[in-house]
Structure formats: C-alpha cells, structure tokens
Structure 1
C-alpha cells in the first residue's frame, strides 16, 4: 500500500511530503492527497517533525541484555576474560529467559527508531547454541518490524577452550549471517591461528567477518594489519568489519593515516559504540572512504550498566565523546548512526562520502525511516524526545514508543 508522509522535514530541511510505495521512496514533494486517499493510500501526519533514515545498530549484544529487568549491582572486574567469566557465572540466573530478554530489547530498539540491526550471539562451550538460538527467536518475533543479521560470536575466544571453533561452526550451519572473532593477540594469544579459523570458516560458508578488537595501541595495530593482510589475500574486500578498533584512538598521526588509508583501499568497515576514552577519528575515516557504523553494545547487562535501546541517545554519546559542538559534526554522527551503519551491514548500500553528506531520503532510497521531534537534527540529538514514528519497508511499525 502507498503511504504518504505529510509535512515532514527531511534532515530538518523545508517541510514537504514524501510518498512511499513498494518499500522505497517514490516521490518527494507535494502529494495529491485526495487522489492518494481515494486510491487507498495511507497518510501519516508528520506534524513538522524531522524525517531521517531509520537507525542501524551494527554492534549490539541482544543475548546479554537485562533491559526490562530489575537493576542489579555491577559485579564484573576489569579485562575481557574476567568480564566474560562474570557473565558466564550470572546469565542463567536472570529473572527472564534469554529469548524473552532479547525479544523485549529488540522491540524497544524498534520503538525508538532502529529497523536495521547486527547483533552478536555468544557461542562457546559453556552456552553452546542456547544464546544464538535465543537471538534467532527474537529476530523471528520481530521479522516484520526490522531486519536483523546475527553474528556467531566466540566471546571466550577460539583457542582457550577446546571445542570453541566447533560450536562456532555449528552456529554457521544453523544460519548465522556473520563469522565473529575477538582479540586475536590479547585473548587467544595466537593471532595467526585465531584469524586462520575465523577467515577459514568465512570462506567455507561464504560469509563476512566481524572481529572485536579491544586491543590498544601497537598491539591493536598489529592485529589490524593481520586482518588487512587476510582481507587482501582472500579477496574479501567489503566483507570485513573491525569492531571497537580502540587502537585508532591511540596511534601516532603517521601510523594512523597509513592504517586508515589501507582500510579504505580494502573497504574494511568499522563499528563503534562511542566509548569514553577512545574516540574514533570520524572525519579521517569518512574522507578515506571507510564505512563507519554505530551500535549500543551490551545494554544494562553483566558487562555494563549502560544502554537503553535508544540509538538517538547513542548518537548523542558519539558526538559527546568526540567533543563535537558544531551542528555539521553532530549531524554527521546522526548520519553515521543511520546510513553509515546500513552500509556496514550491506556494503552495496548507499554510503557516506563526506562529513557533510546527508543521504537516504531521495527517490529510490529504501523506505527505512524515522520521524523525530526537534527544531533541527542537532536539537533532536540533544533532546531525544519521545514523539517518534518508525517505518520499515514502507509501513509504520512503531509510533509514540509503542509497537504497531
């Protein structure tokens, strides 16, 4: 059915109408509402709200969320392995099942404007496929409201516990969309074997790769260079993502620029969660053609008390941790959180070409949209108001923070 959005402001520009049909934008400009209504088209009153591409959360752990449950004290201790052990100790004792928690959180994300998701699902010798299957179940519940790609993620590494690689491959056989990896040096302490397994499975099942890389400084540079070498050798340009990439916030200027240029040349993307202390060089990345997306990571889970299912809030965090004040840079954060993330999920999708680029709302673009309140995009990011309407494949799936 045709859907007409009236009195909307694309990227906070002039008010206009936007017509959707067949899951895409078919017209931008004054619409013949009388004829459209008589033909059975739906009409959404934009009320002068800002029209944006919907949010794309490209780094979220739906299998660890505790959103919707009572708040609990943080019990983790520093370090990836220690945090993982704390999660392993506690996740089975939650007040609701993983499937219930993942389904609730995914619904809350959709309510707030996210219709494109890339979620991790932990697979290891402790959890087996239980957490992976829970994320698949959440995806199925919301299959008509959002597109969800699932990463089979070896949170405990691939080498420290016998059988880890086998569990990962079982998840791939069951339909995982992406092969995950984590800290080849810092966690598994054997980057060659770790990356051989991850990239080998990716080649075997014709899947992309997403490597969690918390490793700092020169260690992170070393692992990234190994990832780039494999990307080039295996012809996997456009199919590899480095998540977190903390080292990009710590490298000397000459090393940083050289690495970013290499990533751009090999079309290796980056996913960030806007952590305090490790701001990504967003401007350098986009200028080099590197696709960058944003995600919420774990949400009020056994790793961290942060996260609230709201990508508009995480957009604020991205701007804040980068110390942005200029409207153009804050709007760029919104572009990263929407179109930037969509291009990380799908390398053939439209991508950002500059800090000033504001794509995603032209004729022919996917009808993945969100209406938000605010005088400008920057004001919407600052205020994070609840008056939102969410559109997936050309139909309204949430309104006023409630699922339709």
Structure 2
C-alpha cells in the first residue's frame, strides 16, 4: 500500500486541510492538524492552494516547436493552406518529432498538467511518423502522466490515397480516439467522412473527436449530421467537438437548440479559448450540463506562434477572451481546465463541473493534484505563480517547474 499525505493545503482555496492519498486515490480530507502523525511520504502544502491537476484535452504534441529558436509565422489564412505550410516545414525543425513531443510533454507536466489528449496527424506525407512521436512521448513520461492519442486525419480521407489503412494501423497500435475534421469544407463529402469516422470508431471501440473550423450555417449542418449519427448509433457520451468557433454566432434559437442537444446526447465540447465573439458561451454550456474542456492546441508550431505548455496561462486566456471579471466565472474557467477537461478524458469521474462549486479535491478522486501559491483560485489565475508542486497518482512528479 502506497501512502502520501499532503499537509496544510487549501482545497480550492478553502480552510487548511490534510489530504491522505492511498494507492493514488484521495482517501480522506480532514482539517489540518499540525500535531497529526501520518504514515508514508509527507508533502508540505505550506498553506498553498490544492487543485485538481490540469488536463489538456486538445493539443498537438506532434507539431510543437517549444524549446527551439523562434520562427516567424509563414502560414496561409485557410485550413488547407496551413496544412500545406506545416507539411513543407515540419521535417526541417531541429531534432526529431519524437524528441520535440517528449520535451513539450515534460514542460506540460512540470507546469501542472498530468493528463493530455493529443492529436497525432496521419496523412499521406507523414504517414505514421507523427503518431509514433506521440507514442514515444507517452512512453517516456508514462510514470508522470496519462496521455490519450487521437488518430487525426488532418487532410481527410478523399484528397489523398492511403489514409484510411494508416488510421486503422494507428488505432490497432495504441490510438485511443478516432478523429474527424471539417466534413463539408475540407472533405467536401460529409456523408462519406462521417461513414469512415464512425465506422472506424465502432470497429475499434474508441471515442470520436471532431475538429471543426467551418463557418456559421455550414458548421451547424455538419454538427446536425454528427448529432444524428450519435443518436442512431447509441454513441452518447463518446463524442466530442473541438473548436466549432462559429456556433455561437448563428441565431440565438439555433445556439440554444445545439446546447440543449449537446446536453441531451452528452456531446462534450473542447475549447482553446479563441479570441472570437462567435464561440459557444462557456457559461451557457456549463449551466446546461455539457462537459466542457480546455486545451492549448498547437504550441509554437507552423500554425501559430502561441502556446507555452502552461495551462494556467491558457485558463487566464479563457477568462480574458470571455471578458470575465467575477470570481465565480474565473473559477469556472479553472474548473473547465481541470475538472471539465478530466471529465472528457475519463468520462463519469467522481467530480463533475458545476458553476460555483468546483471543489474537485474529494474522497475517491484520483490524486492528480496541483499545489499552487495564491490567496484564492482567482488570484492564482491572475498571477500565474511559479511556486507549484505536481502530483500524479499520489506521487510528486514535479516541483518548482522542474520534473522530480
């Protein structure tokens, strides 16, 4: 039996507590007693906040350039142009795709992220090279983090030959999620695209994530087709939609209808805190009971120069782009980045995100935790302190932004 106790830490900013962890699970949370005696490893909370560790539910470990010299942006404005820009440049980066993915995951863990769901691009150009890079990162940090891999057909299935067999090979070799992308705008054949995505998901018994950049009514059309498939195939709780930047910019009635359908069919939503006014309202999604998660997307890659492996920064961005000021809303953003993302990574956890009650440090929860300096959760989001200690399955894996 492995025992760890965090002493003198404040769960989600509440009163100081002692948190006993047995075999990677929170066994008890009791008021802090300076004279208490605990068995096993002792972690001094020093009065810091203790929160669930971050889960990055939408990232691209296979494209990261973190740690490399800065490179000026050269991408085109549309999705296909960005894909081709990435294809023309990614092999020229120093090191290998695997070494870059391993380094990026190390930075993420050190900053407080212990669960990651990463895309692995699979197409006629890179074939399985980038998938294998994410596999290598998962293996390198297996003791410090949990990584799920999305087999991602970045170019669709019909523009280039040979993609489907590669996707199948990845699904048979350790990919956890089947990816989809813009059924209308990029694939230009939505029925075929959905046939392939849902067919492979059912064949390999994996979940689905759709990567949608489509505008307005076109995105609504694609989403409605996805909802029809989820209902017909009984895949409630097994499908997520990423981006969908425009769904909050259609009519109010349509936005409300979609949020209600997402709640009914348990479709989860993954945001990267975009700087747009047409995204679905975070508050409305959470209050409707939709599982909502946060991710950093690509980091310093050939798509955008943003991203630094720090989900606390991205939480600040989520609050900022939504123009939130009240503690309740900013804590909701923190809940999205922790509890919300974790509920997508591992459906039906002990904690579910609700606005105004984001404890997350509860008996029975996995002991993936972040000790963080700060007066309150909101102040920590605003200040983004570097005084952090990270636990994965009840074991300290990073301290002061360095792996242990």
Interval of TM-score (by shorter of Structure 1 and Structure 2): over 0.9
Aligned to 2:337: 337
1:311 aligns with 2:308: no
Cα distance in 1 for partners of 2:357, 2:282 equals 13
Taking only aligned residues, the RMSD between alpha carbons, in angstroms, comes to 1.3
Contact 1:20–1:26 (CA under 8 A) maintained in structure 2: yes
The alpha-carbon deviation at position 352 of structure 1 amounts to: 3.3
Aligned to 1:401: 401
Number of residue-to-residue matches in the alignment:
402
Cα distance in 1 for partners of 2:353, 2:96 equals 42
Contact 1:287–1:353 (CA under 8 A) maintained in structure 2: no
Aligned to 1:288: 288
The alpha-carbon deviation at position 354 of structure 1 amounts to: 2.6
Change (3 A) 1:350 1:99: same
Cα distance in 2 for partners of 1:290, 1:84 equals 31
Tell me, what secondary structure is at the counterpart of 1:246? Answer: coil
Aligned to 2:386: 386
Cα distance in 1 for partners of 2:354, 2:252 equals 20
Query: Superposition pairs for residues 110-129 of structure 1, below 5 Å?
Result: 110-129=109-128
The alpha-carbon deviation at position 118 of structure 1 amounts to: 0.3
1:13 aligns with 2:14: yes
The alpha-carbon deviation at position 287 of structure 1 amounts to: 2.1
Cα distance in 2 for partners of 1:121, 1:35 equals 47
Contact 1:280–1:322 (CA under 8 A) maintained in structure 2: no
Contact 1:291–1:351 (CA under 8 A) maintained in structure 2: no
Aligned to 1:24: 25
Tell me, what secondary structure is at the counterpart of 2:61? Answer: coil
Change (3 A) 1:353 1:62: closer
With normalisation by structure 2, the TM-score equals: 0.97
Aligned to 2:161: 162
The alpha-carbon deviation at position 350 of structure 1 amounts to: 3.6
Aligned to 2:216: 217
The alpha-carbon deviation at position 87 of structure 1 amounts to: 0.4
Query: Superposition pairs for residues 19-58 of structure 1, below 5 Å?
Result: 19-30=20-31, 36-37=37-38, 39=39, 41-58=40-57
Cα distance in 1 for partners of 2:73, 2:81 equals 13
Change (3 A) 1:325 1:33: closer
Q: What per-residue deviation string (whole Å, max 9, x for no partner) do you get for residues 240-289 of structure 1?
A: 00011212221211111111101110001010100111443112111222
The alpha-carbon deviation at position 42 of structure 1 amounts to: 1.0
Residue ranges of structure 1 left out of the alignment (5+ in a row): none
Cα distance in 2 for partners of 1:96, 1:318 equals 32
Contact 1:132–1:171 (CA under 8 A) maintained in structure 2: yes
